[in-house]
Amino acid sequence: MIHIDEEVSRAIDALPTKVNSFGYDAWGFSPKKAKLVYTLIRRALWSYFRPKIQGIENLPAGRVLIVPNHSGQLPLDAALIALACLLRAEPPRLVRSMVERWFPKLPLINEVLWRGGAVLGDPINCRNLLLDEQAILVFPEGAKGSGKVWFDRYQLQKFGRGFMRLALATQSPIVPCAVVGGEESIVSLYDWKGLAKLLGFPYAPIHPLLPLLGPFAYLPLPVRFHITFGKPMMFEGPHDDDDAVIDEKVAKVKYEVKRLIDEGLAQRKGLFT
């Protein structure tokens, strides 16, 4: 048996109760099992990547969309942001990560995701949770962001418009967020699209040390993560406005995320410190 981390346990106990008498919500979140999930994230990832969290006090109470850059091949950034909001936010916040459409089909992984509070990245899921005053974690770059190759590191990919339309429809603030360190944890030189299609993966990263280390090349390096939350941004206007109008608003968020990334990169003294 794994010993549940006390800090994780206290934070989850402090969350507002939104589960039925069996201890589940409709998406399959379970506080009891989430304690195990977040304990594992803390033991395996938090202590490994030693994230430096800044600006978490910017997280407003109630409904909010957290919008970070996406990087690092594996969704390590999502796990670390979720744990940061649980351990460092006052009061602790449960983050509902919108996951790629690929995950529900993965045995066991789907269970771990749902029990920990993640949900399928679908506009209706997102709207329902925002209306329920919950915190959403959405990566508008999607798999294009996490599957980036080394030469594109910290270059933001195209942002989708869905998150902005949902923010407008539900009058939710957007908290821009920057993750620095993810790009160097697992390096990809090339995205082998043919192999990805064959395996049914969203992308297939080829690591520079693959010929030398084989699968061990994909073990992430213990790069220190820097996670910065920006000031909440409120947007006004109809949610069903023309794409061009929505794009202007999305650009403002993208600019803010980029600015936070650049700040983080400038502040960083070394990869591991």
The binding site for other proteins (CB under 8 A) comprises: 20-22, 24-28, 101, 104-111, 114, 119-120, 122-125, 128
Of residues 25 and 183, the one with the C-beta less far from other proteins: 25
Answer for the pair 164, 246: CB distance below 8 angstroms, yes or no. Answer: yes
| Minimum distance from residue 112 beta carbon to other proteins (Å) | 10
**Based on CB atoms, which residue is closest to other proteins, 126 or 177?**
126
Residues 6+ away with beta carbon under 8 Å from 270:
none
> Smallest gap, in angstroms, from Cβ of residue 200 to other proteins?
12
Cβ at position 40, least distance to other proteins in Å: 16
What token pair was written down for 58?
């910017």
User: Nearer to other proteins by C-beta: 127 or 258?
Assistant: 127
Task: Select 104 or 237, whichever has its Cβ closest to other proteins.
Answer: 104
Residue 24 or 201 with smaller CB distance to other proteins: 24
Q: Is there a contact between 223 and 184 (Cβ–Cβ < 8 Å)?
A: yes
